[in-house]
Amino acid sequence: MKKGPSSPRRGLLAAGNWIIDQVKMIDAYPRRDQLANIRSQRQGTGGAPYNVLINLARLQAPFPLAGAGLVGDDDLGRGILEDCRRHGIDIRCLRSTPLAPTSYTDVMTEESNGHRTFFHHRGANALWDGSGLDFDKSKARILHLGCLLLLDALDAPDADTGTKAAALLRQAQQAGLKTSINVVSEDGDRFARVVMPALKFTDYCILNEVEAGKTTGFKIREAGGGLNPVSLRHAGGVLLQSGVRELVVIHFPEGAFARTRKGEDFWQPALNLPDGYVGGTAGAGDAFGAGVLLGLHEGWEPQRCLLTGVCVAAASLSEPARTGGVKTLAGALKLARKFGHRAAPGAAS
């Protein structure tokens, strides 16, 4: 990895799912036909591009931010557009449609442990196929596309590249952008069919351990729930062998792992957060991704990117809404000094 960016391009273009989260704090997740009490409710950002861009704006990223995708011609959609304007995000490629409502997710979050369950309506996101994007006119350095498996039109087959998403990533690379992808953690068997074709046109692949395992076929969690570092490294290697050009990053509650095209491995433990700190886990993955992408844009070494990622994720965990806990970069990094780190998973294995 280079120590400094050399491309004349500057900025991050985040494209894909734009979602409004209705975060409901509940006393406990009920059994079927039983009742749960909603203790409080708040509205927040959802979807990889929305979360990443708002987090980067809050971190005061020193480069332009832009969004692309589709929202409904409704109050939720207008709220997303206004929120982006308020945060200085370019929305010329974020359009509205009367053909479908703005996507939303009911996020049921248990008060006692922060675990959440999602009830999602795809809405306008299902229609977005990348139309309107002209990468030759874009000045962005990185295209971040997410979430694969949740973008119906882009997840569709393509005779040339495998999927429409892969074709879009190829167009971005041909125009000189670096590409980054994000995947949703669904319980299904579509990972190889949808994710693998995109890897051939991906520079930075950022997944969690569940997504990495389902894409590559490795069991990254042991039967007892523990992390298997050997399988994790193998999964990173397969992702690179499948086409990722520069860097694979896999994050998990215990920390993060990265492997470069040169075969270098980097481990970063998560912060040692105290009991009662976590307000909700929704959005922590996108917060981690925002920290890593900030570093990649600026040409930082992988270890610094991972450290920034886990610190921004820790900031995100402090509040139930996906981006509410993220303030400034300095504030996020200060959490590492305040709480220290957990044991480093895999570093000694």
Q: 10 in a domain, yes or no? A: no
Q: 140 in a domain, yes or no? A: yes
Q: 235 in a domain, yes or no? A: yes
Query: What pLDDT does 6 receive?
Result: 62
Query: What pLDDT does 322 receive?
Result: 65
Q: 239 in a domain, yes or no? A: yes
Q: 228 in a domain, yes or no? A: yes
Intervals of the chain under pLDDT 50: 3, 348-349
Query: What pLDDT does 30 receive?
Result: 95
Query: What pLDDT does 324 receive?
Result: 74
Q: 349 in a domain, yes or no? A: no
At 74, give phi and psi (nearest 5°).
Answer: -150, 180
Q: Which domain holds residue 140?
A: 17-29+38-339
Query: What pLDDT does 217 receive?
Result: 94
- Please report, for the domain that includes residue 195, its CATH number: 3.40.1190.20
Q: 78 in a domain, yes or no? A: yes
The model's pTM: 0.92
Q: 3 in a domain, yes or no? A: no
- Residues 229, 346: Cα–Cα separation, whole Å: 5
Query: What pLDDT does 169 receive?
Result: 98
Give how many domains the chain has, as a whole number: 1
